[in-house]
């Protein structure tokens, strides 16, 4: 956990990296350096966000259902007789 002041400085450094990335991406000669600045800025921004107080618990609960897969009911996956799609209008199966 980091304090709000450290998080603000981290976001400031990330913003400076993003500005330098835009400056670097304006020319084909400096595009590699621009990409590197953009990557560094994004890593800093994600790291500060995850380490900020009160962010980790809701963040973990939001991504936890991803591994469970889609939830479908049996009626939504059956096909109506003579219907090419998953559901036809008016069919209750």
Provide the H-helix boundaries in 1-93: 4-24, 31-51, 56-63, 74-77
Decide if 27 is inside a domain.
yes
pLDDT at position 3, please? Answer: 86
Query: Is residue 11 within 8 Å of 43, Cβ to Cβ?
Result: no
**Nearest Cα residue to 38 out of 57, 56, 58, 14:** 14
pLDDT tens across 58-73, in order?
Answer: 555 555 555 555 555 5
Tally of domains within the chain: 1
Decide if 35 is inside a domain.
yes
Kindly give the interhelix angle for 4-24 and 31-51, rounded to the nearest 10 degrees.
160
Decide if 87 is inside a domain.
no
pLDDT at position 15, please? Answer: 96
pLDDT tens across 1-58, in order?
Answer: 788 899 999 999 999 999 999 999 999 999 999 999 999 999 999 999 888 877 665 5
pLDDT at position 64, please? Answer: 53
| Structural domain for 19, as ranges | 4-64
Decide if 89 is inside a domain.
no
Decide if 78 is inside a domain.
no
């Amino acid at each position: 956990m980091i304090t709000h002041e450290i998080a603000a400085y981290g976001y400031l450094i990330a913003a400076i990296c993003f500005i330098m990335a835009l400056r670097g991406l304006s020319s084909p000669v400096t595009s590699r350096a621009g990409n590197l600045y953009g990557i560094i800025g994004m890593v800093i921004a994600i790291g500060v966000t995850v380490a900020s107080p009160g962010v980790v618990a809701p963040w973990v609960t939001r991504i936890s259902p991803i591994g469970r897969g889609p939830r479908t009911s049996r009626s939504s996956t059956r096909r109506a007789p003579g219907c090419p799609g998953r559901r036809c209008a008016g069919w209750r199966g």
